[in-house]
Structure 1
Amino acid sequence: MTTSTLSLAPGDGAAVRDRYARDGVIQVDGLLGADEIDAVRAAFMTQVETDRGAVGAVDEVPADDILARYPRFMNPHRRTDLEVGRIARRLMTDARILDVVTAAVGPVYGAQSMFYFKPPGARGQAMHQDNYFLRAHPETCIAAWIAVDRCDAANGALGVVPGSHTMEVVCPEEADPAQSFTTGLVRPREGLSAVRTDMRPGDVLFFHGSAVHGSPPNSTADRFRRSLIFHYVPRSSVEIARPYLPLIGADGAEVTIGEAVGGGPCGDGWEGASH
């Protein structure tokens, strides 16, 4: 896996549009400030250490797995009674993030927020495609992946496959459970290969819902690789999977569109992956 050369400076909308159309992935360095990221880190660590069950914590690993202590949080933006929820809702609708997303795909609604802790020794997540889960149609989703820690090879930085956004969303294979805490694996088509991102706190990676991405385990003894992630869908989307409703407008208002039906690319009954 080679090191990423996907970075752009903030504020260049034309470059964002062109790079996104070409690669399906863009890294914008320094989009959020150090003080903001420190506040995000502190709030989520306090939440997970005091009441990790309050914020949509996903129960998906054995009790002796380090990720049982630091589970990923799903949709904290819906818990505005908590500090982590207020932070997530505010950043989901932050103009700096929405400006990049809008430059890439046009006006959007917020669909999902997530927080990954990825503590020392944690397994990674096998290569996958996000719109397999969101099932936005006829458009696809776009992710804004915010680095909360320094992300590099040692602590399991994200790997992405430029150009894979032109693939269809496919039914995953079974992943290696020694390497991935999720079970679905998507292989990029022949001729495409992954690059490893190199990110500092406040850098944001934006990528297409069909873009293949994932990460290896955190092999460090003392470094987390935390991240706050948002997913958006273009306003032209007419349906999305039920768990992502209601959507959130740029003004914070809740919006409802149609619910996606059927089983997606694997058909009904597939349980080989989770998100």
Structure 2
Amino acid sequence: MAGSNSTVPAARSVVHHDTVSDALIEQVRVDGYGVLRGALTPGEVAEVNAEAVRLCRGELGAIDGRPTSAPDEPDADVLRRYLCVHHPHKLSAVVRRSLAHRRVLDVLTRVIGPDVKAMQSMLFIKAEGRPGQPWHQDELFIPTRDRSLTAVWIALDDATVENGCLWVLPGSHRRGVLYPDREQDDPRFDCSVEAYDFPYRDEDAVPVEVPAGSAVVFNGYLLHRSLPNTGRHGYRRALANHYMSATSPLPWKIPAGRSPANWDYRDVVLVAGEDPYAYKGITDLTRAYVRPDKEGGCDR
């Protein structure tokens, strides 16, 4: 890290909100993240976790890179082969419904605005011993034109320091700067590149420990990471969805020969309000796939 400076906020405890209060929206604005407790009910959490088993068994359709499993294998053994499945909403009606969950939209329409679209879902499993992700900013991977990218990370198990909860650097989103990134070989992390040379230390980070059903809402420029699941047994499952304002085009996954100025990625789901670009139609470009990690090799 580049070391601290006077702009770095002091570490603070995580504030949990049971309602979409002004304080929650202000915390997302100032600190770059906030926690909404009870975003999903216990029954809804159980439904998503049951759906995860069906996904990982291949019962809902093809997943690129899916590990093979036998029909008589215990569910726990099947799940432990997975770190993360990208775009599970392409196969699962349960996950797709979660994109537009009422409690989630209550926050998003205040953070982003009345018109909101989703472009990605990720189902994290992360069993014991599985790696986390290094410091990164989501906007590096999903660039938006208006800086409206917002993640909603829903805990499907109690997320703790031991099992690999999120860690955040409060206020690191404010400058709207994307920090340099590089390949890394740290065994604690998966294949993701890491951000570096930013004015924060690891000691400035805050662990976001949350009970199952809680949603961590955070800005696309917020520096965050997760560490390995060091628990002796069990998962740190989470459903992470990404959103932005529907009033802005999305210059993501730009085809060769196309300019970012006029490209608009249209494999999106409108979850609130109106889509002023609806005349462009909706495309089906992505498929569900397994996130690579260092056990199976990295796509580089």
Task: Sort the TM-score into its range (normalised by shorter chain).
Answer: 0.7 to 0.9
Amino acid at match of 1:202: G
Deviations for 1:167-212, whole angstroms, at most 9, x for unmatched residues? 4123312334311112311147325621001111100000000001
Aligned to 1:214: 225
> Does 1:77 pair with 2:89?
yes
Letter in structure 2 aligned against 1:183:
S
1:38 and 2:46 matched? yes
Please tell me whether the aligned partners of residues 146 and 229 of structure 1 are also in contact (alpha carbons under 8 angstroms). Answer: yes
The 1:176/1:52 distance shift into structure 2, 3 A limit, reads farther
Residue 249 of structure 1 pairs with residue 270 of structure 2: yes
* Match of residue 133 from structure 2: 125
**TM-score, normalised via structure 1 length:** 0.80
The structure with higher relative contact order (CA 8 Å, sep 6+) is 2
Task: Give yes or no for contact 2:112–2:148 (8 Å, CA) kept in 1.
Answer: no
Query: SS in structure 2 opposite 1:153?
Result: coil
C-alpha spacing 1:10/1:176, structure 2 compared with 1 (3 Å): farther
Which of 97, 102, 106 is equivalent to 1:99?
106
Change (3 A) 1:67 1:102: same
CA apart distance, 1:56? 5.0
- Aligned Cα RMSD in Å? 3.0
Matching residue's letter, 1:33:
T
Match of 2:17 in 1: 8
Cα distance in 2 between the residues matched to 1:9 and 1:78: 30
Q: Distance in 1 between matches of 2:16 and 2:197?
A: 22
TM-aligned CA distance change 1:104 to 1:163, over 3 Å: same
Q: Using the alignment, how far apart are the partners of 2:197 and 2:208 within structure 1?
A: 17
Match of 1:265 in 2: none
**Secondary structure of the residue that 2:271 maps to in structure 1?**
coil
Counterpart CA distance in 2 for 1:104 and 1:188 is 28
Identity across the alignment (%): 28
Please name the residue that 1:173 is paired with: 182
**Can you give the 5+ residue segments of structure 2 that lack an aligned partner in the other structure?**
1-9, 68-77, 255-264, 282-297
Residue identity matched to 2:184: A
Whether 1:109 and 2:117 are equivalent positions in the alignment is: yes
Question: 1:58–1:138: structure 2 CA closer, same or farther, 3 Å change rule?
Answer: farther
Partner of 1:86: 93
Which of 159, 164, 176 does residue 156 from structure 1 map onto? 164
Partner of 1:264: none
Counterpart of 1:263? Answer: none
Higher helix proportion (structure 1 or 2): 1
Mark the structure with the bigger radius of gyration: 2
TM-score, normalised via structure 2 length? 0.74
Single out whichever of 229-238 and 141-150 deviates more from structure 2.
229-238
1:245 match: secondary structure: coil
CA contact (8 A) 1:149 1:227 kept: yes
Match of 1:226 in 2: 237
SS of the equivalent of 1:22 reads helix
Change (3 A) 1:169 1:68: farther
Aligned length: 248
